[in-house]
Amino acid sequence: MSQAAIRALYDRIGDDPRSPGEEALRVLITAADEVAAGGFEQLYYFEPDIARRAPVCARLVTARRFERLFEAANAIAFEDPEPKRRRTAARRMLRAVESHGDQLAQLDNAFDALMADDAERIEVHLARYVEYHPHEFETEEGGRRAGQARRPEMRGRRVSERE
């Protein structure tokens, strides 16, 4: 599956993921786009909820190096326990990001290096996940999302009937 096919699948999913794989695709492409456009600071400013979910989503698609980068950046941005008021939490997160600019710049550079490597780009990990978990990318109507091969239908049949 190509990078273009992954992007097309991302566009079809939109803000309505229906499976862990679709959620991972949406979160990781959004996070990658934000970091590419303005570094981790931009990710935290515009998409703090995506930033929080990115390490778990990277783990799901076995993008371990991205997982470690997201975890390191989140440790900076979300270093304090969350207060009860959301507005205060956002301010504290932005202050933490601003005060650790050098560390985040190093993480930005590491992220850019991973994305520059054609074998490590986040789309490569997502494409592999889609290939091995096609059932997570089905539409509600029972059809397939972009780039998906048809799987034999086995639901409701006994084991002896599958042979």
Write the pLDDT tens digit of every residue in 37-90. Answer: 999 988 988 899 999 999 999 999 999 999 999 999 998 887 655 555 555 666
What's the pTM value of the predicted model, to 2 decimals? 0.77
Residues in contact with 160: Cβ distance below 8 Å, sequence separation at least 6, in sequence order: none
From CA 59, how far away is CA 69, in angstroms rounded?
11
Tens-digit pLDDT profile for residues 110-156: 999 999 999 999 999 999 999 999 999 875 444 444 444 433 333 33
Q: Residue 57 — φ and ψ, nearest 5°?
A: -65, -40
6, 28 Cβ separation under 8 angstroms = no
144, 137 Cβ separation under 8 angstroms = yes
